[in-house]
Amino acid sequence: MTDTAHVRLRTPTVADGQALWQMAVDSATLDVNAPYAYLLWCRDFASTSVVAEFDGPPHKLGGFVTGYRRPDQPQTLMVWQVAVNAAHRGAGLAGRMLDHLATAQVAQGVTHLETSITPDNDASRRLFGAFARRWDASLKCSELFGADLFAESHLAEELFRIGPLRVHQRHQ
């Protein structure tokens, strides 16, 4: 199993943009956006995103979380995509990235985390379920975008809303 002790969690830069895009492609699960979208994300939403970098050289990325604070509800951090390279899964890396990001954002006024998950994504459902338990926060599930809203065949996206989040509540 991956030794996540040698992982540095940090804010992405535009130089990471294409590695994020490649991880999204390789995930075979995520909706892959244009390479340009990941560059823009790394420029404009870097402070609400995180990458996991393994000690090098070479300094290789093992995963990322992208998120943003909702413009009309800035106390809510919306997690857009989470990916961990297949070789590093199951070692708690995604959970660590989420904790890292949430800790920084809660210190800046975030009280809730949201994400959307399709009903078939067990790993992601467990990831956010475990996050809610570690933070002693409640998790509410509701429909975000029904399948009928997508132009192509796509499962419904369910909204997971977790909170309130308080740093001192977090379990290890």
Ligand X SMILES: CC(C)(COP(=O)(O)OP(=O)(O)OC[C@H]1O[C@@H](n2cnc3c(N)ncnc32)[C@H](O)[C@@H]1OP(=O)(O)O)[C@@H](O)C(=O)NCCC(=O)NCCS
Binding residues for ligand X, rule: CB under 6 A, are 27, 29-30, 81-84, 89-95, 121-124, 126-127, 130
Name the pairing type of β-strands 61-70 and 73-84. Answer: antiparallel
Min CB(95)–ligand X separation in Å:
3
**Max CA pair span of the chain:** 47
Residue nearer to ligand X on the CB measure, 26 or 55: 26
CB of 75 to ligand X, least distance (A): 21
- Minimum distance of ligand X from residue 29's CB (angstroms): 4
Which phi and psi (to 5°) does residue 147 adopt? -55, -30
When the beta carbons of 94 and 106 are compared against ligand X, the nearer one is 94
Supply the minimum distance, in Å, between the C-beta of residue 160 and ligand X.
Answer: 10
Nearer to ligand X, 29 or 47 (CB): 29
Cβ proximity to ligand X, 84 vs 165, nearer residue: 84
**Nearest by Cα to 51 from 66, 67, 64:** 64
HSE-up of residue 87 (Cα within 13 Å, Cβ side): 6
> Is the distance from CB of 77 to CB of 110 less than 8 angstroms?
yes
Tokens of 95: 């959970």
